[in-house]
A and B are shown apart, each in its own frame.
Chain A
Amino acid sequence: MDGILALAASNLLSPIILFFALGLLAAFARSDLSIPEAIAKGMSIYLLFAIGFKGGASVADHGIDATLILSLVAGLILSFAIPMIAFGLLRVMTRLDVTDAAAVAAHYGSISIVTFVAATSVIGSAGLSSEGYMVAVAAVMEAPAILSALWLIARYGKSAGMEEGLMREILLNGSIVLLVGSFLIGWITGAEGMAMVAPFIVAPFQGVLCLFLLDMGLVAGRGLREARSVLTPGVFLFGVIMPPIGAVLGLGAGLLLGLSTGGVVLFMTLCASASYIAVPAAMRVALPEANPSVYLTLSLGVTFPFNLTVGIPLYLAVASLVTGA
Chain B
Amino acid sequence: MQTHEAKRVEITIEAVMETRLTNALVKAGVTGFTVLPVLGGSGRSGQWSREGQVSRARGMVCVVCIIRPERLDALLDAAFAVVERHIGVVSVTDCEVLRAERF
Contact = CB atoms under 8 A, between A and B. Distances in A.
Interface residues of A, number: 25
B54 A284 contact: no
Interface in B74-92: 85-87
A283 B86 CA distance: 11
Given A284-B14, A292-B45, A296-B57, 18 more contacts: A34-B52, A37-B53, A40-B54, A218-B52, A219-B54, A226-B46, A226-B47, A227-B46, A276-B54, A277-B55, A281-B55, A284-B16, A284-B17, A285-B20, A288-B86, A288-B87, A292-B57, A300-B54
Contacts of A288: 14, 85-87
Using C-beta atoms within 8 Å of the partner chain, give the interface range for chain B: 10 to 19
Contacts of B47: 226
A289 interface: yes
Contacts of A277: 54-55
Interface string B4-41: 00000000001011001000000000000000000000
Contacts of B53: 37, 219
B42 to A, nearest CB: 11
Contacts of B46: 226-227, 293
B85 A276 contact: no
Q: Which 8 pairs, one residue from A and one from B, show the smallest C-beta to C-beta distance?
A: A280-B57, A219-B52, A288-B85, A280-B55, A281-B57, A284-B16, A277-B55, A288-B86
A289 B16 CA distance: 14
B41 to A, nearest CB: 13
20 contacts: A34-B52, A37-B53, A40-B54, A44-B54, A216-B54, A219-B52, A222-B52, A276-B55, A277-B55, A280-B55, A281-B56, A284-B16, A284-B57, A285-B16, A285-B20, A288-B85, A288-B86, A292-B58, A293-B45, A296-B58
B94 interface: no
Contacts of B57: 280-281, 283-284, 292, 296
Interface of B: 14, 16-17, 20, 45-47, 50-58, 85-87
A171 to B, nearest CB: 16
B61 to A, nearest CB: 13
B87 to A, nearest CB: 7
A222 B53 CA distance: 10
Residue of A226, A278, A285, A293 with most chain B CB atoms under a 10 A cut-off: A285
